[in-house]
Amino acid sequence: MAAPRALPLSCLATLLALACIGCRQQPPMAIEAPVSPPEMALIGAVLLDGLGDYSFPVTSDHPEVQRWFDQGLALAYGFNHDAAERAFLKATELDPRCAMCWWGAALVLGPHVNAAMDPADSADAWTRLQRAVALAPSASAREQAFITALSARYAEQPLEDRRPLDEAYAAATRVMVAQRPEDPDAAVLHAEALMDLQPWDYYDAALRPTRCWPTSARSRPTTPTSRSVAATSRACTRWATSRTTTTSCGSPPAWKATVRSLPKPPGTPPSAPASPT
């Protein structure tokens, strides 16, 4: 009785040995190539509701690009830079010739008040900016102004100390505001550029703006803080007075009251009494 049982056991052992050999001879599993930054950024790009109706018109023939761009800008203004990047890159996917879509994809890689720029993003920021610059001639004059200003923010060869680039970008946005004094987006980006020069260091213990800039004898001392407040105040006032309907942020008169309550730069003459509205 023992012999008949020995044969199946030996066969089983042989089969197991052959199976193990077969496993060892299988080619190794292929390792997926790393996903490029643009492709990675497109993962999870979805249109969102509840971001408001503010729009920055861009030049594109694709019917969906405007909504993606506006979403990217709204998210960038709301400091959700990762989601903003996905929206801007989705817009470039739909219309690779949209200059401002590449502008937005480059803009969100820069520094902001909550974080310094990641050096690993320097190459992508420069490449995207160059796409925007190359496509700028087919864009509107307003779009070209924003692309020109952003051109001062990045360099092909990244600097170890970004301070010169950040100062150059603040100066470029100041020129843009001078050229486009009625443009609220220009004022907002200029204000942010000034804030980026001294993140979270805007007022001292006595609530005085910090870090006075050198000025000539003909001008009063100014600071990035005071200039940022002034630029933002003007932008909010212009935007508020252009609105004719009540929004989630309040009607234009409410916005004006908010703007009047903002701290004024040193030396600013007192405002005239507001007329009841």
For 250, counting Cβ atoms within 10 Å of its Cβ (0-12 exposed, 13-18 middle, 19+ buried), the class is: middle
**Do 45 and 154 fall within a single domain?**
yes
**Domain membership flag for residue 241:** yes
The total domain count for the chain is: 2
pLDDT at 128: 98
Q: Can you list the pairs that 165-174 forms with residues at least 24 positions away whose Cβ atoms lie under 8 Å? A: 166/111, 166/193, 166/196, 166/197, 167/197, 169/110, 169/193, 170/194, 170/196, 170/197, 170/224, 172/148, 173/149
Asked if the structure places residue 174 within a domain, the reply is no
pLDDT score at 205: 83
**Residue 128 contacts by C-beta under 8 Å, 6 or more apart in sequence?**
102, 103, 105, 106, 109
Considering the domain architecture, whether residues 136 and 205 belong to the same structural domain is answered as: no
Q: Quick one: 237 and 147 in the same domain?
A: no
Residues 229 and 145 in one domain: no
Q: 108, 141, 158 — which closes off a domain?
A: 158
Write the DSSP symbol of residue 136: G
- In this prediction, residue 7 carries a pLDDT of 43
Do 137 and 212 have their domain in common? Answer: no
Exposure string of 199-211, with b = 16+ CB inside 10 Å and e = fewer, is eeebeeeeeebee
Residue 9 within a domain = no
Half-sphere exposure of 6 (CA within 13 A, CB side): 3
Q: Which of 142, 158, 174 is the last residue of a domain?
A: 158
Domain match, 152 and 59 both: yes
Domain contains 177 = no
* CA atoms of 112 and 219, how far apart (whole Å): 29
Question: Are 57 and 135 in a shared domain?
Answer: yes
Q: Are 132 and 106 in contact (CB under 8 A)?
A: yes
> What would the pLDDT profile of 53-82 be if each residue is shown by its tens digit?
999 999 999 999 999 999 999 999 999 999
Which of 139, 158, 177 is at the close of a domain? Answer: 158
Indicate the average pLDDT of the chain. 76
In angstroms, the CA 187 to CA 233 distance is: 9
Decide if pLDDT at 176 tops 50. Answer: yes
Nearest CA among 102, 107, 196 for reference residue 154: 107
**What is the token pair recorded at 60?**
């594109």
Residues 47 and 131 in one domain: yes
Q: Residue 49 sits in a domain of what CATH number? A: 1.25.40
> Same domain, yes or no, for 55 and 150?
yes
| pTM score | 0.68
28 found inside a domain: no
* Residue 222, helix vs strand vs coil: strand
In this prediction, residue 125 carries a pLDDT of 98
The answer to whether the beta carbons of residues 235 and 223 sit under 8 Å apart is: no
154 and 199, same domain (yes or no)? no
Q: Model confidence at 206, in pLDDT bands (50, 70, 90)? A: confident
Q: Which region among 6-15, 147-156, 161-170, 191-200 has the lowest average model confidence (pLDDT)?
A: 6-15
Which long-range CB contacts under 8 A does 59-66 form with residues at least 24 apart? Answer: 59/98, 59/99, 59/100, 59/138, 59/139, 59/140, 59/143, 60/91, 60/94, 60/95, 60/97, 60/98, 60/101, 61/95, 62/94, 62/95, 62/98, 64/94, 65/91, 65/94, 65/95, 65/98, 65/101
What are the pLDDT digits (tens) for 251-270? 333 434 444 454 554 555 55
Establish if 171 belongs to a structural domain. no
pLDDT of 240 reads 53
Considering only the C-alpha atoms of the chain, give the largest distance between any 2 of them, rounded to a whole number of Å.
115
220-252 pLDDT tens trace: 445 555 565 666 666 666 655 555 443 333 333
Cα separation, 225 vs 227, in Å, equals 5
**Is 258 contained in some domain?**
yes
- Residue 233 domain boundaries: 186-264
In a domain, 195, yes or no: yes
